[in-house]
Structure 1
Amino acid sequence: MQKLTCERERELLNALTLDDEQAFAVLFHNYKNKIYGFILGITSSEEISKDIVQDVFLKIWKMRHRASEIENFNALIYRMARNAALDHLKRASRESTVLSHLSVLSKEATAHDPFEDIKAAEIKTKYENALQRLPKQQRLVYELKHLQGIEYPEIAKKLRLSVPTIRSHFRNALNALKSNLFLTLFIIITRF
């Protein structure tokens, strides 16, 4: 596909304001590979990069009625892609931290200190109760991803849902577990 001139890009943005799907398709096909490569350089994941490209263009479509106000589409789309990729990395980092804490909670204590055994048993009970309180779909996704180690695409295929929906369920489950367990863990850990 040949590079768009500034005039042609302006025409496409004006047409996009009027819900022109063809204009959107031209913009998408002109930028998708460049944006994908840019995001891949940040995330180092083909799957995540493809998801982010889709998310960025979905945002473009949702803001289409203001497309004629865009001064520099190239700068906008790269900024959106960079922000989405960095947001993903921050989220993944937080999820990784939460997962490491949760895996400690979900295992039996191996300490020989009876107080540690009591704490571990109480924490495990609270964790299992919090897990049971999750909505069914969130719990299922959490168990498949965290406890069984199945990747998002495989879970999505198994549950017949999209990968972004699976990610959302997993993130919501982590947030619910974190908020349900934080105060309990603080009390248990500081009580002894």
Structure 2
Amino acid sequence: MTAGSDIFFKNLFESTHGKAFNFIKALSKDENIAREVVQTSFIKIWKHIGKYRNHPNPEALVYVTVKNAFLDEMRKQNRINAILTSIEENSHLQYTIADTVEDVAIRGEAFTAVNRALDKLPQRLQHIYTLYQFEELTPLEIADTLQLSVTTIRTNIETAKLFLRKELRKYRY
């Protein structure tokens, strides 16, 4: 990136960041969501600064980018909520098949394997994943608790999931 692009980005950021944040905060009614959406948007803007620099009205393009990032986040949250609702509504299905001694033994072995795999995770990932999976905190709640960004929390959760999937491959159906 050129020095001119750095200066352009700095000026664009300074002239639009506060207004973009207030715009998303008004839409979402949540300061943390607004902070996360605007931060993600400005990272995207930084990566594609040439597009903004060559646009006839770069400030307007910033607001379009921020609005679209907010809408994407809301769609994502709606999909997650729909999946969680479906799981909750169908939770009775797990009790329809009688447990056998073999099933109990397999579950015990799997439980032990999960604990071993969790112990292999770095402490930070283990803590974040435990908060998410076992204490059922949302990424936003974890981010607030640990004073980290929601994106960082989501990345850590996905990293832990990938590691655990790999470690627990033999227990998958």
For the residues of structure 2 that align with 1:119 and 1:168, how far apart are their CA atoms?
31
Give 1:92 deviation, angstroms: 7.4
Contact kept, 8 Å, 1:51 with 1:164, in 2: the verdict is yes
Q: Which of 122, 136, 146 pairs up with 2:123?
A: 136
Residues 27-75 of structure 1: CA distance to partner in whole angstroms, max 9, x if unpaired?
223433334445x3xxx86533431122112322343355322356435
Aligned to 1:10: none
Aligned to 2:103: 116
For the residues of structure 1 that align with 2:64 and 2:165, how far apart are their CA atoms?
33
Tell whether 2:15 aligns with 1:29: no
Q: Secondary structure at the match of 1:53?
A: helix
How many residues of Structure 1 are paired with residues of Structure 2 in the alignment?
Answer: 157
> RMSD between aligned alpha carbons?
3.9
Tell whether 2:134 aligns with 1:147: yes
Q: Secondary structure at the match of 2:7?
A: coil
Gaps of 5+ in 1: 1-15, 105-110
Tell whether 2:55 aligns with 1:70: yes
Using structure 1 for the length normalisation, give the TM-score: 0.59
Contact kept, 8 Å, 2:121 with 2:160, in 1: the verdict is yes
For the residues of structure 1 that align with 2:21 and 2:118, how far apart are their CA atoms?
39
Tell whether 2:7 aligns with 1:19: yes
For the residues of structure 2 that align with 1:156 and 1:35, how far apart are their CA atoms?
19
Could you say if the C-alpha distance between residues 178 and 148 of structure 1 is closer, same or farther in structure 2, counting changes exceeding 3 Å?
same
Residues 116-169 of structure 1: CA distance to partner in whole angstroms, max 9, x if unpaired?
112211221221122122122101111233223445566456655444333322
For the residues of structure 2 that align with 1:160 and 1:31, how far apart are their CA atoms?
22
Q: Which of 137, 149, 157 pairs up with 1:170?
A: 157
Gaps of 5+ in 2: 92-97
Contact kept, 8 Å, 1:53 with 1:81, in 2: the verdict is no
Q: Secondary structure at the match of 1:19?
A: helix
Contact kept, 8 Å, 1:52 with 1:85, in 2: the verdict is no
Aligned to 2:95: none
Using structure 2 for the length normalisation, give the TM-score: 0.64
Identity fraction in percent: 23
Could you say if the C-alpha distance between residues 174 and 37 of structure 1 is closer, same or farther in structure 2, counting changes exceeding 3 Å?
farther
